[in-house]
Amino acid sequence: MRRFAALIEELDSTNKTNQKVTILTNYFKSTPKKDSLWAIALLSHRRPPRPLNTTLMRIWASELAEVPEWLFEESYHIVGDLAETISLSVRQEINLTPPSLSECIKEIINLKSKDEKEKKSYIFKRWKSFNNYEKFVFNKILTGGFRIGISQKLMTRALSKAVKIEENILAHRLMGQWSPMTTTFEELIINPNPEDQISQPYPFFLAYPIDQDFQDKELVQNWCFEHKWDGMRSQLIIRKGKCFLWSRGEELITDKFPELSSLVGLIPDGTVLDGELIPYKQNKVGYFNDLQKRIGRKTVSKKLQDEIPIVIMLYDILEWEGKDIRNYHLTRRKEILESLYKKIKVNNAPILLSQVMFFENWKEVKEERKRADEKSSEGLMIKKKESIYSVGRKKGFWFKWKSDPKTIDAVLTYAMRGHGRRTNLYTDYTFALWENEKLVTFAKAYSGLADTEIKKVDRFVKQNTIDRFGPVRQVKPELVFEIAFEGIASSSRHKSGFAVRFPRILRWRHDKKIADANSINDLKQFLR
């Protein structure tokens, strides 16, 4: 545990990528395999089951620190991180040799079955025996992940250097639903069993966002174009007579979309397809919101399948006849994919093929991008014809050129403190629109303002608070901001009746009074 805490502290002390890779590489080289495996798991957001809730942790921490609960809560709101608040509040009282990382996590896992008294006794013991940073890391394991600028790609690069295995091979081995509780370092990293990898997806290749200057840099003939669909990026795997569906977030979602199991037998074994899950009813693309209704259900009934039918819009093929073909050029992979699609589509399978487009000049590209809304797409994907299917984001090969965002002017009504370096500033905002001469909440946003603007808004919030709800302040409705968003759908869960996707602040409208802000009726106009 001491070694892992030192690793986290060292990683958190630098923002230099190469330095982080070196730190991680040295850790993997010098650390027992059991601990290395758990370090890989924790840094890729695979933490053990939570043995207690954060409410109990706050109550116990205030008791052990001998401070009133209200004072601890106020401190928590100021610090902005529960793990750090506890580590700063509770003193080390006993000097015990800390357990190893794997031993500590085993203790945490075993804690799940204990009663509250036993849990409290164990937590107190560890809090009193750990130094501040060990305590911080211990609390992070209990409550959530580590936000220290370590992507899975960066960690994989370091591991590759430590074990002398190619990075792309390791990236594939680390995909899917594995757990340190059921596997070993040897089984996962060094010598995996092929039978255990039947359901395993490939790492996703991602696109870079671009601006309107892109067309000046490359000949249009070097690229192919597709519409960007507003769904859920997924991999469909058919191996050994079974179907597996993975989200980009490495979640196995096969049971949420049972209709795709009909593809077993139609699609040959040893096939992996990359695509987008989209709601599709009466030959029309639906809303992402509809897709979420299916994802959020434990069981998907036949009725729900009929109400919200889906298809997978195919972009790419990564494995064919049991062979990894990611190193084939995109044009060749598209040929294989199109040939497969022609064979299976005659069976009315829940599957579509993304149309590939070619243009003579960039003016034609711009015109097609303008037609995205009428086709219910988010914009265009731009892919180099000779690109291989790589891992993560790789500059120069795939780009996404989204349509211009939808915008609306809204009034700031609530604010909440931020996190990390912005803990002492109000940076998380709630915005409202007019309806029948009342302001109705429609979205939250926390990005888009410059640091100087954030400080000015923070000052306004502190000077114009009219009510408080824990860490949230209600403010005088005086400030107007232009809010950008990607899409909109009806929603009974929101006061406004609508949910917007990816809201962010575009600019502060100093030129507008709150009477000039838009209404809910204005928002409705964006519904397609």
pLDDT band at 318, cuts 50/70/90? very high
pLDDT at 504 over 80: yes
pLDDT band at 480, cuts 50/70/90? very high
383, 402, 421 - which closes a domain: 402
One-letter amino acid identity for 354? S
Which region among 80-94, 144-158, 250-264, 271-285 has the lowest average model confidence (pLDDT)?
A: 144-158
Mean pLDDT of the chain: 89
Is 477 within 8 Å of 517 (Cβ atoms)? no
Q: What is the predicted pLDDT for the residue at 192?
A: 84
* Same domain flag for 113 and 10: yes
Residue 6: CA count within 13 A, CB half-sphere: 9
CA-nearest of 309, 219, 216 to 262 is 309
pLDDT at 48 over 90: no
**What does the pLDDT average to over 178-199?**
86
Residue 224: CA count within 13 A, CB half-sphere: 16
DSSP character string of 213-250: TGGGTS-GGGEEEEEEESSEEEEEEEETTEEEEEETTS
Q: What is the predicted pLDDT for the residue at 297?
A: 77
* Same domain flag for 324 and 371: yes
pLDDT band at 214, cuts 50/70/90? low
d(CA 462, CA 426): 9
- What DSSP character marks residue 148? S
d(CA 60, CA 76): 14
The residue to which tokens 């992940």 are assigned: 145
The CATH number for 346's domain is: 3.30.470.30
Gyration radius of the chain over CA positions: 26
Decide if 160 is inside a domain.
no
Decide if 11 is inside a domain.
yes
* Same domain flag for 362 and 339: yes
* Same domain flag for 426 and 384: no
Decide if 340 is inside a domain.
yes
Decide if 256 is inside a domain.
yes
pLDDT band at 300, cuts 50/70/90? confident
Q: What is the predicted pLDDT for the residue at 421?
A: 66
Domain range for 95 = 2-143
Could you tell me the pTM of the whole model?
0.73
pLDDT at 93 over 70: yes
* Same domain flag for 330 and 226: yes
- What DSSP character marks residue 100? P
pLDDT band at 14, cuts 50/70/90? confident
* Same domain flag for 385 and 490: no
* Same domain flag for 326 and 411: no
The residue to which tokens 């255990």 are assigned: 196
Decide if 179 is inside a domain.
no
* Same domain flag for 465 and 510: yes
The gap from C-alpha 149 to its chain's centroid, in whole angstroms, comes to 14
pLDDT at 215 over 70: no
Q: What is the predicted pLDDT for the residue at 29?
A: 94
- What DSSP character marks residue 264? B
Decide if 152 is inside a domain.
no
User: 286-322 in b/e burial notation, b at 16+ Cβ within 10 A?
Assistant: bbbbbbbebeeeeebeeeeeeebbbbbbbbbbbbbee
Burial of 55 (0-12, 13-18, 19+ CB in 10 A): exposed
One-letter amino acid identity for 129? S
d(CA 496, CA 521): 10
What is the DSSP pairing of strand 504-508 with strand 205-206?
unpaired
Contacts of 323-327 spanning 24+ positions with Cβ under 8 A? 323/270, 324/202, 326/202, 326/388, 326/389, 326/390, 327/388, 327/389
Decide if 229 is inside a domain.
yes
The residue to which tokens 């602040």 are assigned: 505
**What does the pLDDT average to over 377-389?**
93
Query: Out of 135, 228, 383, 406, which one is annotated catalytic?
Result: 228
pLDDT at 385 over 90: yes
The enclosing H or E element of 318 equals strand 310-320
d(CA 271, CA 267): 7
**What does the pLDDT average to over 232-260?**
91
Q: What is the predicted pLDDT for the residue at 491?
A: 78
Three-point CA angle 285, 289, 295, nearest 5°: 105
What does the pLDDT look like over 410-448, one tens digit per residue? 999 999 988 766 777 899 999 999 998 899 999 999 888
d(CA 306, CA 158): 47
Q: What is the predicted pLDDT for the residue at 346?
A: 72
Q: Is 517 helix (H, G, I), strand (E, B) or coil?
A: coil
The CATH number for 518's domain is: 2.40.50.140
* Same domain flag for 343 and 453: no
Residue 264's φ and ψ, nearest 5 degrees, are: -65, 125
d(CA 465, CA 498): 27
Helix 33-43 to helix 17-30 angle, to the nearest 10 degrees?
150
101, 120, 143 - which closes a domain: 143
* Same domain flag for 372 and 410: no
Which two tokens mark 282? 């009466």
* Same domain flag for 441 and 514: yes
- What DSSP character marks residue 317? E
Three-point CA angle 480, 481, 487, nearest 5°: 135
SS3 of 413-452: the string is: EEEEECCHHHCCCEEEEEEEEEECCEEEEEEEECCCCCHH
pLDDT band at 212, cuts 50/70/90? low
Decide if 187 is inside a domain.
no
pLDDT band at 74, cuts 50/70/90? confident
Q: What is the predicted pLDDT for the residue at 439?
A: 94
One-letter amino acid identity for 374? E
pLDDT band at 34, cuts 50/70/90? very high
What does the pLDDT look like over 99-136, one tens digit per residue? 999 999 999 999 989 999 999 999 999 999 999 899 99
The CATH number for 123's domain is: 1.10.3260.10
The domain tally of the chain equals 3
**What does the pLDDT average to over 283-304?**
82
Cross-strand partners of 426: 417
* Same domain flag for 362 and 396: yes
Burial of 324 (0-12, 13-18, 19+ CB in 10 A): middle
pLDDT band at 490, cuts 50/70/90? confident
Contacts of 215 (CB under 8 A, 6+ apart): 362, 365, 366
Cross-strand partners of 319: 272, 324
402, 437, 461 - which closes a domain: 402
For this structure, is 228 an active site residue?
yes
